[in-house]
Amino acid sequence: MTFILTDTLEQSANRNLPAPLAETLTSALEHLREGCFQRSLCLIVATTSVASGLEVGYEHYKGSYSNPVMYTPVVLSGALAGAGLVGVFSRFAARTVLRWISIVTLADGVIGFFFHIRGIARKPGGWSLPVTNIVMGPPIFAPLLFGTSAYLGLMASYLRREEDLEPTVERVGAAIESESSGWRSDLRHGRFQKHLSALTVLWAFFSGFEALYSHYKSNFRFKAQWTPVLLAPLVMAAAVGAVRSRRIANTALPAVSALALADGAIGFYYHARGIVRRPGGIKKPLYNTLYGPPIFAPLLFAACGFLGLLASLLRRERR
Amino acid sequence: MPHRLGAMQTLPSPMRRFQENDLVDYCIVGVGSAGGVLVQRLARAGFRVVALEAGPFWDTEKDWVSDEKGSHELYWNDLRITGGTDPLALGSNNCGKGVGGGSVHWAAFAPRFHPSDFRVYSEDGVGVDWPMSYWDLKPYYELLEREMPVAGPAWFPWGDPHGHPYGPHPLSGRGDVLVRGCTKLGIRSVAGGPVAILSASHGDRPHCIYRGFCIQGCKVGAKASTLITHVPNAISHGAEIRAHAMASRVSVRQDGRVDGVFYFDREGKEQFQRARAVIVSGYAIETPRLLLNSACPGHRQGLANSSGTLGKYLMAQAGNVVAGRFEELIRLYKAPPAHALSEEFYETDPRRGFARGFAIQTVGPLPVAFAKQMVAAMGAWGWGMRRVMMDYNHWSTLGVLGEILPWEDNCVELAEEKDQHGLPVAKVTFNLHDNDKKLIEFGKQKVMEIMWAAGAKQVVQESRFAHLVGAARMGRDPSTSVVDKFGRTHDIPNLFVCDGSILPTQGSANPGLTIQALAARTADYLIKQGDAIFFSNRRDLSEPGIRYDLSPPYTRFKGNPRIA
């Protein structure tokens, strides 16, 4: 019998936790497994967009918004946060507004990626000095990472809502969506573990690479700077394994993803401390956030751990 | 009001004061790059140390102004005589007066010497070999790079490749020009350092704010000078820095050992500081001048001059400045002058027809210095000068830093003229030789080529010199050198020289880091020898082994900065 993470968690909760807590946890896991967590994911999308909006807001402020296109991610993350919030309350908004804003934001991330590549090409020496200019130029994968919350928003728009888990509602819903195609139905029922694992591979690569070159820039002065660089390949390997094997998806993937999540959280603390330690500290919040370590960047690494964890709690695709 | 050093640091107070007749262990003459490190190390190791400094003890808030002309007093402006076929301009960027010495107005470029610099004679048949190897000095380079600390790229590809403890600085317009031009021509370059200016805060010193007045004395405290990196720690550990004390001669006892230093105090009265050993750290002109002025029976030619080489083999580096005018804005005044370089032409290349090489570096003259360069470079004057200066923000400058070999006829002697204390002043003779001229010509052409490749519309150049080293060189053979590899004079066992003047050759690297690394090494040697220096004439040349416990605070990246 294969080890299934959610089953084990449920059993363990029933055995070890007091009844109300165990029930809550079991029900949460069931919602996840069944794909009935649209409202929760909308809330997560709203908060992560606020964080990524702040990050891109000040990073582009540092670049003086020299190109008007630099305003788009700031505006879009505001819109996405709003759409996420509305999606918490309205099924209709979650399926329409949130979906379209997410798609536009994702597209914006891809466009931004090309602008950042061009920005590096425009540095003196351009791509003939790849190391120097990746280190000194615009952060190459940041626009794609900016798409994380948009991607979550896109997925949220296809999920079922928490209340849909009730059997009566479920029957009505099934009648409405009988005509929906295979992948939509998979998403609706929480069957997208492989898909999300594949996404985790990509995201771990992007955020690991960002961590690599930006920590390389300061020559790995603190030993903790090595951790995301070393963890990223582990997450990638586990996530690749998770695409191919259900067993890995339920064992190695949650383990390393939890590590990545914790590492991101610790990194967030270190970056915040780095900012406070700059002269002026919290009395000069804007200046020190601008020129100190990028405060939300470790959370992007934590986000790829979050994706991996989420993947391990889902069901696999039917095909 | 406390004595301020930079924006956040204050001088430890009160400073220990030795009494008039106190016998101290070490009297150090000159608190510059080397003197500052020495006094800090020796005080920390528990020695009783007095350091004499001819200039003032700078309070960075009160004494320094962010102004080109107003910063003139950072230099040694007393009378000096210059001569030779290619006379050096003295009294500006090549010497300092005041605590911190030249390190308060250096551009803080901090590249290491290459391993080949220590074996110039063996490898190229010119100059002379050092009595030590690069590998003896390497741990001190690494330590001082952390003490200053040095910001730069994580990979510096030339010489002995290495990284830097602090991240690189962003590039300014002229850094862009250097990198762009070099890349066009397929020349490797590095961006953002190595420069001893903080790219992030460090202990009680804030990071650089790119205001551009580095060589006018950094009021921020982001640029490393021994005034703020080592002197405060020396004072905390009981050293005395005696400012406005102009050393006049080193006193020699009957038994051939020195016993102290005569100096003129602030009022011009001659005083005597007794010491069990003396270290002269006056840099390449004042060190030989003091030793020559200390001539006495038994040392007719000057102290430590039995070889006759004291004052000889003076070196300056070729510092030609190439300026190019661009269509786009460059803004020369922005950011530290020093932040991008190429050492691609550092080593000897037989195809070039001369020995040794040069480095290419960014330089950043502010308007007054730039105007002077333009007078020399293009004869700009009157209305023409106004036209040039209107375009100041469109000009970019790059510097050649070329190795000039040590020649016997380049020397420091005593002149007939006397200074305000009645001491004979130094007369500096400087001539270029065939190899130097070829090197300068090649370097100049190469940098102009880079400037054109970067897209300049007009390119001009000015010949000048930078840095001064040599004149009391170290060596194994007492008949051809003044001091041994630890700076101890061959003639007098308790007289040391430790500063740029002991360098036998100079490479094409800015000497500041090397001078401080040598000082830390000498200090380790003195500490290891302990009392033997004071009582024994035996010369022990075994390696001291590096001490990591004598560095100033924050060297190990520990501790919270004080938040103002």
* pLDDT tier at B557, thresholds 50, 70, 90: low
User: Same structural domain for residues A35 and A153?
Assistant: yes
Q: Summarize the confidence of residues A45-60 as an average pLDDT.
A: 91
Helices (H), B148-269: 173-184, 226-229, 231-236
Tokens of B385: 């000068």
Instruction: State the pLDDT at residue A178.
Output: 55
Q: pLDDT digits over B41-91, tens only?
A: 999 999 999 999 999 999 998 899 888 888 888 898 888 999 989 888 887
Q: Summarize the confidence of residues B409-426 as an average pLDDT.
A: 92
Which chain B residues are closer than 8 Å to A124 by Cβ?
171, 175-180, 183
Instruction: State the pLDDT at residue A170.
Output: 58
Q: Summarize the confidence of residues B399-405 as an average pLDDT.
A: 94
Q: pLDDT digits over B287-321, tens only?
A: 999 999 999 888 889 999 999 999 999 999 999 99
Q: Summarize the confidence of residues B282-289 as an average pLDDT.
A: 93
Which chain B residues are closer than 8 Å to A125 by Cβ?
179-180, 182-183, 189
CB B177, CB A124: distance < 8 Å: yes
Q: What is the CA radius of gyration of chain B?
A: 22
- Determine how many CB atoms are found less than 10 A away from the CB of residue B291: 30
Q: Summarize the confidence of residues B365-394 as an average pLDDT.
A: 91
Q: Summarize the confidence of residues B245-253 as an average pLDDT.
A: 93
Q: Summarize the confidence of residues B543-560 as an average pLDDT.
A: 78
CB A38, CB A149: distance < 8 Å: no
Residue from A142, A141, A144, A154 nearest A45 by CA: A154
Q: pLDDT digits over B490-502, tens only?
A: 999 999 999 999 9
Q: Which residues contact B442 (CB under 8 A, 6 or more apart)?
A: B352, B354, B358
Q: Summarize the confidence of residues B158-172 as an average pLDDT.
A: 89
Which chain B residues are closer than 8 Å to A220 by Cβ?
154
Is it the case that residue B149 has pLDDT exceeding 80? yes
Is it the case that residue A179 has pLDDT exceeding 60? no
High-pLDDT (> 70) share of chain B, %: 99
* pLDDT tier at A174, thresholds 50, 70, 90: low
Please tell me the least confidently modeled range out of A23-32, B171-180, B540-549. Answer: A23-32
Rounded to whole angstroms, how far apart are CA atoms B351 and B363? 28
Q: Summarize the confidence of residues B351-377 as an average pLDDT.
A: 92
Rounded to whole angstroms, how far apart are CA atoms A56 and A71? 9
Mean pLDDT for chain B?
Answer: 91
- Domain segments of chain B: what residues? 4-66+74-535
Instruction: State the pLDDT at residue B564.
Output: 32
Tokens 């150049």, located at residue = B461
Residue from B539, B22, B27 nearest B280 by CA: B27
Residue B313 identity (one-letter amino acid) = Y
Nearest 10 degrees: CA dihedral of B362, B367, B372, B373? 30
User: Same structural domain for residues A243 and A202?
Assistant: yes
CB A142, CB A116: distance < 8 Å: yes
Instruction: State the pLDDT at residue B2.
Output: 87
High-pLDDT (> 90) share of chain B, %: 71
Rounded to whole angstroms, how far apart are CA atoms A28 and A37? 9
Q: Summarize the confidence of residues A77-88 as an average pLDDT.
A: 93
Instruction: State the pLDDT at residue B94.
Output: 78
Ramachandran assignment for B35, one of left (phi > 0), alpha (psi -120 to 50 degrees), beta (any other):
alpha
Please tell me the least confidently modeled range out of A195-209, B19-33, B86-100. Answer: B86-100
Interchain contact, A132 vs B207, CB within 8 Å: no
Is A284 in the B-facing interface, judged by CB distances under 8 Å?
A: no
Is it the case that residue B128 has pLDDT exceeding 80? yes
Interchain contact, B154 vs A218, CB within 8 Å: yes
Tokens of B367: 């308007």
Is B341 in the A-facing interface, judged by CB distances under 8 Å?
A: no
By DSSP bridging, strand B340-342 and strand B358-362 are: antiparallel
Which chain B residues are closer than 8 Å to A128 by Cβ?
183
Is it the case that residue B237 has pLDDT exceeding 90? yes
Bridge-partner residues for B273, per DSSP?
Answer: B261
Nearest 10 degrees: CA dihedral of A229, A234, A240, A241? 180
Instruction: State the pLDDT at residue B196.
Output: 94
Rounded to whole angstroms, how far apart are CA atoms B36 and B28? 9
Instruction: State the pLDDT at residue A281.
Output: 78
Q: Which helix (H) or strand (E) holds B416?
A: strand B411-418
Q: Cα A227–A229–A231 angle (5° rounding)?
A: 65
Longest dimension (CA), chain B: 70
Q: Summarize the confidence of residues B225-254 as an average pLDDT.
A: 93
Which chain B residues are closer than 8 Å to A222 by Cβ?
557
Instruction: State the pLDDT at residue A180.
Output: 60
Is it the case that residue B154 has pLDDT exceeding 60? yes
Does any domain span residue A13? no
Number of domains in chain A: 2
Which of A120, A123, A136 is the best substitution to test chain B (most B C-beta atoms within 10 A)?
Answer: A136
Which chain A residues are closer than 8 Å to B151 by Cβ?
none
Which chain A residues are closer than 8 Å to B222 by Cβ?
none
Is it the case that residue B562 has pLDDT exceeding 50? no
Instruction: State the pLDDT at residue A167.
Output: 65
> Could you give the ipTM of this predicted complex?
0.75
Which of A128, A213, A221 is the best substitution to test chain B (most B C-beta atoms within 10 A)?
Answer: A221
Please tell me the least confidently modeled range out of A23-27, A200-204, B108-112. Answer: A23-27
B288: exposed, middle or buried (C-beta count within 10 Å: 0-12, 13-18, 19+)?
A: buried
Tell me, letter by letter, the H, E, C secondary structure of chain A.
Answer: CCCCHHHHHHHHHHHHCCHHHHHHHHHHHHHHHHCCCHHHHHHHHHHHHHHHHHHHHHHHHHCCCCCHHHHHHHHHHHHHHHHHHHHHHCHHHHHCHHHHHHHHHHHHHHHHHHHHHHHHHHCCCHHHCHHHHHHHCCCCCHHHHHCHHHHHHHHHHHCCCHHHHCHHHHHHHHHHCCCCCHHHHHHHCCECHHHHHHHHHHHHHHHHHHHHHHHHHCCCCCHHHHHHHHHHHHHHHHHHHHHHCHHHHHCHHHHHHHHHHHHHHHHHHHHHHHHHCCCCHHHCHHHHHHHCCCCCHHHHHHHHHHHHHHHHHCECCCC
User: Same structural domain for residues A280 and A210?
Assistant: yes
Is A66 in the B-facing interface, judged by CB distances under 8 Å?
A: no
Q: Please check whether the domain covering B4-66+74-535 is classified as CATH 3.40.50.1970.
A: no
Q: How far is A136 from chain B (nearest CA, A)?
A: 7
Interchain contact, A279 vs B564, CB within 8 Å: yes
* pLDDT tier at B561, thresholds 50, 70, 90: very low
Tokens of B412: 């420091």
Say whether the peptide bond before residue A18 is cis (omega within 30 degrees of 0). no
C-alpha distances in Å from residue A61, one per residue of A51, A66, A146, B378, B411: 15, 9, 16, 41, 55
Q: Which residue of A has its CA nearest to B8?
A: A279
User: Same structural domain for residues A212 and A315?
Assistant: yes
Interchain contact, A217 vs B165, CB within 8 Å: no
What global pTM score does this model have? Answer: 0.88
Interchain contact, B167 vs A217, CB within 8 Å: yes
User: Same structural domain for residues A134 and A209?
Assistant: no
Instruction: State the pLDDT at residue A125.
Output: 86
Is it the case that residue B563 has pLDDT exceeding 50? no
- The DSSP call for residue B423 is P
User: Same structural domain for residues A222 and A150?
Assistant: no
Instruction: State the pLDDT at residue B272.
Output: 93
Q: pLDDT digits over A16-27, tens only?
A: 888 888 888 888
Tokens of B62: 């009160």
Does any domain span residue A82? yes
More confident residue, A161 or A228: A228
* pLDDT tier at A171, thresholds 50, 70, 90: low
User: Same structural domain for residues A213 and A140?
Assistant: no
Is it the case that residue B444 has pLDDT exceeding 80? yes
By DSSP bridging, strand B49-52 and strand B240-242 are: parallel
Say whether the peptide bond before residue A254 is cis (omega within 30 degrees of 0). no
Structural domain range at position A156: 24-161
